[in-house]
Amino acid sequence: MNFEYLPASGGAQQELVLLHGWGSNREIWRSLLAPLRPWANITLVDLPGCAPGCDLDVQPQLAQVLAAILDCSPTKAVYLGWSLGGQLAVELAARHPERVAAVITLCSNPRFVATTDWPGMDASRFSAFRAAVMTDPGGALRRFDSLQTAGARQPRRLLRQLPRQGRERASLQLLAGLQWLATLDQRIRLPALTQPQLHLLAEHDGLLPAGLERSLNALLLNTPSARVQVLAAASHVAPLDAPDTVAREIRLFLADAGLLNKSSSPTQTLAKRDVADSFSRAASLYDSVAKLQRDVGAQLLTSLDQLQIVPTTLLDLGCGTGYFYPDLRRLYPGARYLGLDLAQGMVEFARGRVAGEGDWLVGDAEALPLAANSVDLVFSSLAVQWCYRPEHLFAELSRVLRPGGCCVFTSLGPDTLCELRTAWAAVDSHQHVNNFIPASDLASAARRVPGIQLELDNGLFRMEYQRVRDLLSELKTLGAHNMNRDRPAGLTSRRAMQGMLQAYETWREDGVLPATYDVIFGVLEKA
């Protein structure tokens, strides 16, 4: 099952799993991400039997699809389902109550096909539509889009916004979703749910009957944890034409139900803008002093020999000056090369260095400007240490990697420049050396991202200098000097500097001063 895990951009207060409806895919939720992600971790999935282009050898069965959803979802979450996705959310809540904290349905009917005592789509009309899908799945999907946007104030605009991915490969596996629509009857399930439930309907829904609100309220009359609400002026495609309203109602409902956890925003020790500006200024001189970076990258390159991957698309994440472009090209001559760095100056230097070859992008590793499932292999040497939210980094890698894809990376660990750190500690209590994330925190972050496996190893690299000032000058030339937010303001006093230099001299061995780099080697694989 194709899925994405998107950590909250702020402090996470809840896990949300979003299930789309028949004839759609996870792209239907994109407009909702902006108002939801500041406070929620979000899992998006493409549902076999519902999403066009999900290539399967056999017709998907409901129980298998529900199990697959749980496999790629958090241990416990709030499930939000739109249209048929709402019925799937209810099924999960009824069958696996320990995994579902609450159920929210959007433009969904617990019994889609009408009966003598329940409003829904006319049975003969539904049968005719199913016959059309059997004859021409693509054409039936186009007609279905018109049904979904009926009643909207701007149906043509919404038609353009509806997800189109995979429709050219629409197949008869979509009949499975229609079978679920035809047979699922959750009128007994809903009143029996133990979780809080919210049912959002749209005032101008052209696909669901007008009497559904009244019927749902009657059905849930004696269920105090259930709420039915109509979204004014919204159509069946409410995720597209009323995203802010939908997000607001979801948050209010969860707050009333006591399901918003206390927010704990991650501590931002680095300002990304400062990092980008520093490395941009260093681009022209970077390679002249980057011996450590070359040595670490060369060792990382040897790890590629152990991978059973022949990539069609390769991402050099934190490409810097493009130093490793020739080596990566030699290893994978048939692959499309993407070089990406946070620092625009680095990208411009790299682009000029290779005379227009490759594709070069400015971007943040924690918010990659790349499509989902678009990359086979990621190579990243000494860039991860500038990501202070590793869960976001790993979630983005999982998103852009194709199934079976891999990322090899190096990062700096907390013992990096321990000699310099100790020397400064002898003279004051300020933060003079960059703090880096330990391997244990990287491993913990990876465990929170479903669908990936991370293996880590450590190595120590030793650089040698005649004078401490040579080390400080090198760090400045690299653009890797102290960039922590709590670094001391203003210039360091001459007395403090002299004290640090004297303290560092205690590390001198055989006439040289060592500088130790704690290097973490990682291999991340996407299932």
Q: Which residues are identified as catalytic?
A: 83, 205, 236
Q: Which residue has the tokens 């020999």?
A: 305
Strand, helix or coil at 82?
Answer: strand
Q: Which residue has the tokens 């000056």?
A: 321
**Residue among 361, 445, 378, 370 nearest 400 (CA):** 370
Between CA 199 and CA 107 the distance in angstroms is 8
Which residue stretches of 283-373 are H helix? 291-303, 325-331, 344-353
Rounded to 10 deg, the angle between the 62-71 and 84-95 helix axes is 80
**Residue among 257, 47, 22 nearest 143 (CA):** 22
The phi, psi pair for 490, rounded to 5°, reads 80, -175
**Residue among 162, 176, 164 nearest 133 (CA):** 176
**Residue among 274, 277, 322 nearest 297 (CA):** 322
Which residue stretches of 123-265 are H helix? 123-135, 137-149, 155-161, 175-183, 189-192, 212-219, 238-241, 243-256
Between CA 506 and CA 33 the distance in angstroms is 54
Q: Token pair for residue 447?
A: 């465990």
Whole-number Cα distances in Å, 21 to 101, 110, 301, 310, 400: 21, 13, 44, 35, 23
**Residue among 21, 33, 39 nearest 144 (CA):** 21
**Residue among 87, 86, 107 nearest 207 (CA):** 107
Q: Going by DSSP bridges, is the β-strand pair 40-45/3-6 parallel, antiparallel, or unpaired?
A: antiparallel
Q: Which residue has the tokens 């790349």?
A: 370
Beta strand ranges found along 257-335 (DSSP E): 313-317
* CB-CB contact of 351 with 330 (8 Å): no
**Residue among 198, 197, 205, 199 nearest 232 (CA):** 205
Strand, helix or coil at 101?
Answer: strand
Neighbouring residues of 55: CB distance < 8 A, sequence distance ≥ 6: 169, 171
Give me the residues paired with residue 44 across strands.
Answer: 4, 18
Please give the DSSP secondary-structure letter assigned to residue 447. Answer: H
Longest dimension (CA), the chain: 94
How many other CB atoms are found less than 10 A from the CB of residue 475? 18
- CA angle in degrees (0–180, nearest 5) for 361-365-386: 115
